[in-house]
Each structure stands twice: as C-alpha cells, then as structure tokens.
Amino acid sequence: MKAKYREVIELSVPSRLGLEQVAVDATAALAKLMGFSEDRIEDLKTAVEEACINAIEHGNKENSSTKVLVELTADEGKLQVNIHDQGKGVPGDIEKPDIDAKVAGKQKSRGWGLFLIQSLMDEVEFDWNPETGGVTRMVINLKQ
C-alpha cells in the first residue's frame, strides 16, 4: 500500500494485559503495508506495546470495563498512532529512568515505558483531557 491516501483504522481494546498485542500486531501489519523496514517496525511494535500497557495499567487501572482506543493514521510518508485511555493521563513529575539509580536500588527497576516510546519514535506527545482521558500520540516517519 503506497500511502497516497489518508487511511484511518480504529481499534477498541478491552483493558486487559495481554490484549495490547492485538494493537501491536495490527500496527505492525499496517506499517508493513506502508513499506516500513523491519527495524522500524520493531521500534513501532515496542512503542505501541508500551503505550498500550501504560493505558491499561496506569490510565484505566486494569478495569476491564474500560477500553483503550487505538487510532492508526496512514498518511503520506508517516504513520501516526494515537492511544487513548479513559484515565487521568501521565503525571507531570515522572522520574527519568536512570540505570545506575535503578541498579543501586535508588529507583524502582520498572518505569522504562515512556523512555522507550520517546527514544524509538520520531514525534511523541502526551496529553490529558479530564473529559476524554489520556492520549499518547506518536509519529513514525517512513524516511528519516
């Protein structure tokens, strides 16, 4: 699929850990159709997995009656992924993960999700709206 046209795909995923893989596989399939390289698809899979896990665990507190909405927009030369939860969004004071601090026990060993998303994607934005919940917006460009 050459992305001459803007295509939008939406998935609604119940907030249950493990089901984020549905979003990961769908995103990877679309990226492959768009012509992304295997390396970039791997980056995308990790970023989408982490954003969905954050939405399920921290946004929706694993409440299975809530949903994670995944919007995939294939546009000319880029893929945008928006992941919405129904929770309170990303707190502003998240500690930047530091491997030395973690190994020394000064930080919890977990907490790499946002770091990985920001490291692997070309554009990332976190937002929260009290009425609609949190959203992670990320863009990956076909040609860097």
Q: Classify residue 132 as left (phi > 0), alpha (psi -120 to 50) or beta.
A: alpha
Phi then psi for residue 83, to 5 deg, are -120, 115
Q: Minimal distance in Å, beta carbon 128 to other proteins?
A: 20
Alpha-carbon distance 98 to 75, whole Å?
35
Out of 28, 63, 115, 127, the residue judged to bind other proteins by CB under 8 A: 115
Out of 39, 96, 130, 143, the residue judged to bind other proteins by CB under 8 A: 39
Alpha-carbon distance 130 to 89, whole Å?
9
Collapsed DSSP state (helix, strand, coil) of residue 140: strand
Residue 29 binds other proteins, judged by CB under 8 A: no
Residue 108 binds other proteins, judged by CB under 8 A: yes
Alpha-carbon distance 50 to 91, whole Å?
16
Residue 113 binds other proteins, judged by CB under 8 A: yes
Out of 32, 46, 78, 139, the residue judged to bind other proteins by CB under 8 A: 46
Residue 25 binds other proteins, judged by CB under 8 A: yes
Alpha-carbon distance 55 to 78, whole Å?
23
Out of 62, 77, 99, 132, the residue judged to bind other proteins by CB under 8 A: 99
The footprint of other proteins (CB under 8 A) covers 17-18, 21-22, 25, 39, 42-43, 45-46, 49-50, 53, 97, 99-100, 102-105, 108-113, 115-116, 119
